[in-house]
Amino acid sequence: MVSPSALLACPPTEASAPRLPRQADQRELQAGLLDRPAHIDPKFLYDALGSSLFSAITQLPEYYPTRCEAEIFERHGADIARHAGTAQTLVDLGAGDCAKAERLFPALRPRHYVPVDISADYLQAAVRRLRLSYPELRITPLGQDFSQSLSLPADIPEAGRLFFYPGSSIGNLDPDGALAMLERIRALCPDGGLLVGVDLVKSSAILEPAYDDALHLTAAFNLNLLRHVNAVLDADFDVDDWRHVALFDRRRSRIEMHLEARRNVRVAWPEGERLFAAGERIHTENSYKFTPQAFTALLERAGFASVRHWSDSRGWFSVFGARA
């Protein structure tokens, strides 16, 4: 380990963390709730409590992705760093608690760290901790919803950007959305690269418990979305009316998370209402599982080259490295 202070040399940057305009959130939520079947974008899973719950989920025995990804960086870190090249700026997409990127600092030695996350308050708290450990690292946290567009401040040099998109978050997007996201990243890195964590197709017996654990933390994470919706939309969801459902759809190669009405439920908000029959579901998240060949092809379609991947010892998860 190099000492944190040996990493670089720029003073920390104060950054604001603008969130989505509340009205845009409200319009999006209302449209999803009135649709048939109803759906809510998984980004609404992440208010401050949702981010803390996700962090706890990563420690569950059933939730293998975080441990698999860590094993890959432990076993292949030097090779991955060589392939990634010099990272002047490390852009961490969906940074959460920033812990994964922090573990890469010694190998990648970035001069500037740019964590991006929709959960802006949680991100700011993580960055406050990080600044104490790395006083000389320039850090620019961005509270941004990158589901429709991704932008970086003009003072972040285009050269030497390495994008880091771990935790199989790319799998939350449908195939067209994943391609569009990779294209957005590619457009922002003319000479840099991308490290992306990708979950692989495997047995339902491994996949489903990872999204429906014995302690019911994932259920709490999914149900907390309703409390977040209540706060944003001024709706009156009662968490007790709903139960968590997680299923692997092998044909679509994705885990689906839903909230299912336990009884007939009427939900109201200032601009509307919806009656849900007992058993009716709200679709809250997809998590696509890939083969290495399919994800390599996706990266190449998005304009990346020199694609390599590294897997854990059980072949459950891969980290892909790609150059612009």
Ligand X SMILES: C[S@@+](CC[C@H](N)C(=O)[O-])C[C@H]1O[C@@H](n2cnc3c(N)ncnc32)[C@H](O)[C@@H]1O
Task: Choose which of 167, 192, 193, 321 interacts with ligand X (CB under 6 A).
Answer: 167
- Regarding 115 and contact with ligand X (CB under 6 A), the answer is no
Minimum CB–partner distance for residue 23 and ligand X (Å): 17
DSSP 16-44: --PPPPHHHHHHHHHHHHHSSSEE--GGG
- Comparison of 93 and 324: residue with beta carbon closer to ligand X: 93
Provide the residue count of the chain. Answer: 324
Distance of CA 54 to the CA centre of its chain: 10
Region binding ligand X by CB under 6 A among candidate stretches 32-40, 138-146, 220-228, 267-275: 138-146
Q: Does 124 bind ligand X (CB under 6 A)?
A: no
Pair 84, 195: CB distance under 8 Å: yes
List 26, 30, 52, 58, residue binding ligand X (CB under 6 A): 58
Indicate whether 46 belongs to the interface with ligand X (CB under 6 A).
yes
Three-state DSSP class for 60? Answer: coil
Residue 96 touches ligand X, criterion: CB under 6 A: yes
239, with CB counted inside 10 A (0-12, 13-18, 19+), is middle
Distance, in Å, from the CA atom of 22 to the CA atom of 44, rounded to the nearest integer, reads: 12
Q: How far is the CB of 183 from ligand X (least distance, A)?
A: 16
| Residues 43 and 289: beta-carbon distance below 8 Å | no
Residues in a beta bridge with 165: 196
Helix/strand/coil percent split, the chain, to 5: 40, 25, 35
Compare residues 43 and 111 and give the one whose CB is closer to ligand X.
43
- Residue 105 sits in the site that holds ligand X (CB under 6 A): no
**Distance between CA atoms of 24 and 147, rounded to whole angstroms?**
13
**Candidate segments 142-150, 153-161, 207-215, 219-227, binder of ligand X by CB under 6 A:** 142-150
Q: Any contact of residue 146 with ligand X (CB under 6 A)?
A: yes
* Residue type present at position 207: L
Q: Least Å distance between CB 57 and ligand X? A: 9
| 119 part of the interface to ligand X, by CB under 6 A | yes
Using CB under 6 A as the binding rule, whether residue 166 contacts ligand X is answered as yes
Interface residues toward ligand X, by CB under 6 A: 43, 46, 51, 54, 58, 66, 94-96, 100, 117-119, 144-147, 166-167, 169
